[in-house]
Structure 1
């Protein structure tokens, strides 16, 4: 890719790379939207005088499944208009053109590029901030709950469309300069309810989760090929609980360590160990009151989760706990 890239007739200068995914790369770009570009519904202003920084996600789709997921991500972003979900500014789908290929080779190529333009969040992801802080407390109790509540609200909006995110984690949550959390990376999304009635059903879900759901934040039923029942939005609730733990005691989640990696058995058993220094981090056991840490991590057994939480109920519960914390 050269130093500039065109998107729907707008020209953007590439200033650097922000990240790399499975079949995508995200660039920091600068440019100006033309007046007739598809602006966001929040009335984002068009600035004729200055270039603006954006995040440009470029997905190389070599097969039908990659293209299907990319198109699903575009459609999801277009449908979701919520302050806790990353806003899509504009997008384009086109054939990939390679310089060293002839015009005929390019015409015959099945590879498509899907480009998505997003706002830039200079603070980066929650995981980036947690890694920088290392073992020092990054957020106090009310900040943890405020951020957690925003993430839960974003997930609630995704669930309202009949989909589960399936990869909620600190690395997929951006933070604005006002500490508003923004859920991103919707390409991992799956139907909200997936019945598992056979070994084949279970194997397909486990295989898909291994590809699209980060192991330390992955719910037990997405590991267990003996599971029978319905995989549902509670997978995201589990991941939300892991994320709350990382916010309070990070930079790692409850089921990973630097020495032992991902602790699969602990995930399957719902075994959570809180750090001995937890009381000095400024976060009390009130985080457990939200219902997703400690007792809230419960193993999936007999075809259904013992935890009764949904993202909607979790958002309401988080709001109540936050209000109580602020009133003290």
Structure 2
């Protein structure tokens, strides 16, 4: 799926603030805004199909999407609109589209279609761009959203649900780490995990937002390269879930996909308790998030009654090895979570 510039209809609707948006040859009606952040807005949309007999088949979108299981039964989807103000931002969006198109896994959010359109700027001869990225919609929110609701109700996931949600995240990451070359997500956290509640089953978990995903393996051979990596990580990797080697990178280091394993360990902790294992440092007088992470200083809060098995705490600690060379790889993590599921299944 290469980047495309859609036609005049998309340009007209975007400029004039219409209630519809075109993504290439398919038209979508904006129903409501779902969220926003930075230069991006997410909308719930419904496909506008001229031939009503084709609605159940996914309308015009059905002709474009290879995996028909990604099509919505009622024609609703999520559209991410990105405001692009310079060439650097345009390149970042193009890279997100390119990287998203590499993945095909049920626990990774698929990019169904996209369009980048030119918008006349305020200054004479100045053109900006807007990008529209189309995804399946999941209205139950993210792990982060669910954690806030559960905290207010003093509720916790069962041990079985914790492990099943985590297993799904591992499966999605394994797909990314198994590519040639391997890719790292670089921003695994509860806010990037979509949750769909399922009656009689553990929730469905889908990893999203590949704006920070890059080739996982980097050779750092100078102080300048180390500082460049730290600056990049500070911009793209959420601090409470960022691996130690991205906070303080040695001048000679081999960075790989195990940065994601650190974030995965933090996320497992967050599935259980609702927040990162190091966020406590932000609330302490003189506390340092970076220092807590570099020293892997984990504190275990009060949890459900009865408490989570100690084996889950040990599992988290195993992934949160400050030295990446002794941190497990995703295959080892999956083997271990499978054993825990067998041990603690209902």
Q: TM-score range by the shorter chain?
A: 0.7 to 0.9
**Cα pair 1:121 1:175 within 8 Å, conserved:** yes
Distance 1:35 1:153, change over 3 A: closer
* TM-score, with length taken from structure 2: 0.82
**Cα pair 1:137 1:249 within 8 Å, conserved:** no
Q: Report the alpha carbon displacement of residue 282 of structure 1 after superposing the two structures with TM.
A: 4.2
> Is residue 118 from structure 1 mapped to residue 141 from structure 2 by the alignment?
no
Distance 1:141 1:172, change over 3 A: same
Give the aligned partner of residue 224 of structure 1. Answer: 248
> Is residue 147 from structure 1 mapped to residue 149 from structure 2 by the alignment?
no
Q: State the Cα deviation string for residues 82-137 of structure 1 (Å, max 9, x = none).
A: 11000222111221346xx59x74xx41x222211111111110000001111623
Specify the SS of the correspondent of 2:283: coil
Give the aligned partner of residue 17 of structure 1. Answer: 33
Match among 109, 112, 118 for residue 86 of structure 1: 109
Give the aligned partner of residue 253 of structure 1. Answer: 276
Q: Report the alpha carbon displacement of residue 307 of structure 1 after superposing the two structures with TM.
A: 3.0
Unaligned runs of 5+ in 2: 1-16, 49-58
Of 178-187 and 4-13, more deviation after overlay is shown by 4-13
> Is residue 326 from structure 1 mapped to residue 345 from structure 2 by the alignment?
yes
The whole-number CA distance in structure 1 between the counterparts of 2:146 and 2:333 is 24
Number of residue equivalences? 310
Distance 1:34 1:166, change over 3 A: same
**Cα pair 2:320 2:327 within 8 Å, conserved:** no
Unaligned runs of 5+ in 1: none
* TM-score, with length taken from structure 1: 0.86
Give the aligned partner of residue 233 of structure 1. Answer: 257
Q: State the Cα deviation string for residues 221-246 of structure 1 (Å, max 9, x = none).
A: 11104453111111100000000001
Give the aligned partner of residue 316 of structure 1. Answer: 335
**Alignment of structure 1 residues 149-228 onto 2, 5 Å:** 149-161=167-179, 162-178=182-198, 179-226=203-250, 228=252
Give the aligned partner of residue 128 of structure 1. Answer: 145
Question: What do you get for the CA RMSD once the two structures are aligned?
Answer: 2.3
Q: Report the alpha carbon displacement of residue 281 of structure 1 after superposing the two structures with TM.
A: 5.7
Q: State the Cα deviation string for residues 243-265 of structure 1 (Å, max 9, x = none).
A: 00011112x11010373487221
The whole-number CA distance in structure 2 between the counterparts of 1:281 and 1:72 is 46
The whole-number CA distance in structure 1 between the counterparts of 2:61 and 2:171 is 32
The whole-number CA distance in structure 2 between the counterparts of 1:212 and 1:183 is 16
